Amino acid sequence: MVIQKLLLAKMLVIGLVSSAAAQSEIPLYPDKIPNAVNNAEDQETIKDNVARNVSKPTLRIFLPPANIANGTAIIVCPGGGYGALVIDREGYQVAKELNKAGIAAFVLKYRLPSDRIMQDKSIGSLQDAQQAIKTLRERAGEWKIDPGKIGIMGFSAGGHLAATAGTHYDSSFVANPKKTSLRPDFMILVYPVITFLDKGHRGSAKNLLGESPTAEKLKYFSNELQVTTTTPPAFLTHAGDDTVVPVSNSIEFYEALNAKNIPADLHIYSKGEHGYLKEPAFQEWFERCLVFMRTNGLVVAR
């Protein structure tokens, strides 16, 4: 009996250590944060699982159990209109579900656009997304992930960031001496902001680009206009009754991808509003996302 209790205690300790090792948070930049105003930082707060005033970006690492890990990795970008980050529901909770599917997840706590802390607030979040992709590729061996199966996932404004990373990877906004590819291998966009033109989300556009952005800037960050033949495959899901970010955002991006023969799935639900707070159920759309990944060889069962 004593031996059994000792073994049980040892297994519990090992489990706790493994869990802690699989979920750690690291600074996104090992040295100076690019595009930062000298000695300026916001006082970050997290209330009701929503982060605000983020000026020091991080990656929180969620690694799946070794026996089900398949090598695929996804950077998760929570939404919040570029004014906040719904860090738990659209970040940590999603990462844990990805782990159950054998996928390594990296929740990106990206900088929120602010003239107080950035020289150019329009590119700060994109810099963080590019740095995250670069970090995963360069440290793939450490985390036992496939450098050719690194995706980016985003919700709402986080979806805009993910789509921006997927359509602007040829322009490097971070130091990249090794010339590491900044192209995500796929995108997962959940009720995403895509455009900053007529049918876009004005709040996100204002927070990212300011009160009076130029027409050139609006077009540059309207990702339906930036799709090329090398844009990565995408999974999109949206609700037809979304009154915050119209479903046309996803439809127009899908049409742009389809016109360039880029593999893409688009799943539209009649009800769900913005945020999928009541419906569709998480597993409903998430399973469709996994099917898209399996169909396109982005996840290989082990």
- The answer to whether residue 286 scores a pLDDT higher than 70 is yes
pLDDT at 73: 98
Buried/exposed 231-260: b ≥16 CB within 10 Å, e otherwise: bbbbbbbbbeebeebbbbbbbbbbebbeee
Q: Which domains does the chain have, with CATH numbers?
A: 28-295 (3.40.50.1820)
Tokens matching residue 2: 């004593």
Give per-residue pLDDT as tens, 34-62.
999 987 777 899 999 999 999 999 999 99
pLDDT at 42: 74
pLDDT at 22: 61
Average pLDDT over every residue of 111-137: 97
Tokens matching residue 29: 């930049």
Nearest to 74 by CA among 180, 193, 232, 229: 232
Give per-residue pLDDT as tens, 187-236.
999 999 999 998 778 899 999 999 999 999 999 999 999 999 999 999 99
Contact 82, 134 (CB under 8 A): no
Beta bridge partners of 52: 45
Contact 130, 229 (CB under 8 A): no
pLDDT at 43: 86
Q: What are phi and psi of 191, to 5 degrees?
A: 35, 60
CA distance 175 to 118: 16
- The answer to whether residue 121 scores a pLDDT higher than 50 is yes
**What is the pLDDT confidence band of residue 7, given thresholds at 50, 70 and 90?**
very low
- The answer to whether residue 19 scores a pLDDT higher than 60 is no
pLDDT at 2: 46
**What is the pLDDT confidence band of residue 302, given thresholds at 50, 70 and 90?**
low
CA distance 292 to 234: 9
Query: For residue 228, how many C-alpha atoms fall within 13 Å in the half-sphere facing its CB?
Result: 9
Question: What is the residue whose two structure tokens read 């982060």?
Answer: 51
pTM of the predicted model over 0.85: yes
pLDDT at 235: 98
Contact 226, 167 (CB under 8 A): yes
